[in-house]
């Protein structure tokens, strides 16, 4: 079972690193639902990079992945001036009004923090994973917040809308990571692939599922 006793500092650092990855992949500023979709994929695909899932469960919503606590921390970072918000608006989703916008790092304010994080080997590994994930998402033609609905874990029919998807806390039901393992086993012997390649293959698999060709 994954240990999730991280504090608000850990939460905010992960958010900054994910926004940094979006900058590197040239998909910044990133819309709110795209950001939450990337956060979900980072959780289910972390094991591909030998990383534990940062959050091992999530409520299955009709509108796609959304982490209320993550959003609170992101809003706090906006208040601190570390993150900027663009194209602010509102939408009425699932009976509630929600603030919409696109988020980006305040590069000048966050560079020292990102540099310090990069001085630790554990955080460098997280940075490498998040950057490669964001790059993989940037190289597909469909929005990742649409494709995430076809993710093997999110789309599992045994979990209905309004139920909790537990893929790494009390249950071992990370079907996304299992799918990548299955892809790896199907590759011809003698053909090697990097962890980044596996992420890219999975993104293309989601795109094929959207178009009904997988």
Chain segment 143-182, per-residue pLDDT in tens: 999 999 999 999 999 999 999 999 988 877 899 999 988 8
Which segment of 1-5, 51-55, 69-73 scores lowest on mean pLDDT? 1-5
Into how many domains does the chain fold?
1
Specify if 123 maps to a domain. Answer: yes
d(CA 186, CA 86): 43
Specify if 1 maps to a domain. Answer: no
Specify if 150 maps to a domain. Answer: yes
Specify if 71 maps to a domain. Answer: yes
| Adjacent-strand bridge partners of 166 | 57
Give me the domain span that covers residue 179.
8-210
Using an 8 Å Cβ cutoff, are 43 and 168 in contact? yes
d(CA 47, CA 88): 34
Specify if 3 maps to a domain. Answer: no
Specify if 2 maps to a domain. Answer: no
Specify if 51 maps to a domain. Answer: yes
Using an 8 Å Cβ cutoff, are 127 and 21 in contact? yes
The pLDDT value recorded for residue 8 is: 77
């Amino acid at each position: 079972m994954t240990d999730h006793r991280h504090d608000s500092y850990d939460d905010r650092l992960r958010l900054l690193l994910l926004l940094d990855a979006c900058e590197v992949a040239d998909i910044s500023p990133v819309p709110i639902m795209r950001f939450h979709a990337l956060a979900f994929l980072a959780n289910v695909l972390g094991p591909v990079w030998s990383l534990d899932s940062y959050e091992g469960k999530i409520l299955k919503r009709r509108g796609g992945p959304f982490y209320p606590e993550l959003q609170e921390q992101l809003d706090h970072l906006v208040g601190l001036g570390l993150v900027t918000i663009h194209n602010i608006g509102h939408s009425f989703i699932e009976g509630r009004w929600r603030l919409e916008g696109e988020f980006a790092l305040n590069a000048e304010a966050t560079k020292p923090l990102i540099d310090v994080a990069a001085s630790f080997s554990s955080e460098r590994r997280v940075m490498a994973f998040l950057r490669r994930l964001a790059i993989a998402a940037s190289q597909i033609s469909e929005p990742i917040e649409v494709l995430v609905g076809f993710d093997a874990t999110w789309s599992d029919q045994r979990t209905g809308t309004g139920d909790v998807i537990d893929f790494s806390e009390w249950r071992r039901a990370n079907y996304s990571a299992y799918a990548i393992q299955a892809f790896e086993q199907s590759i011809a012997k003698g053909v090697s692939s990097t962890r980044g390649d596996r992420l890219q293959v999975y993104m293309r698999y989601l795109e094929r599922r959207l178009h009904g060709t997988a």
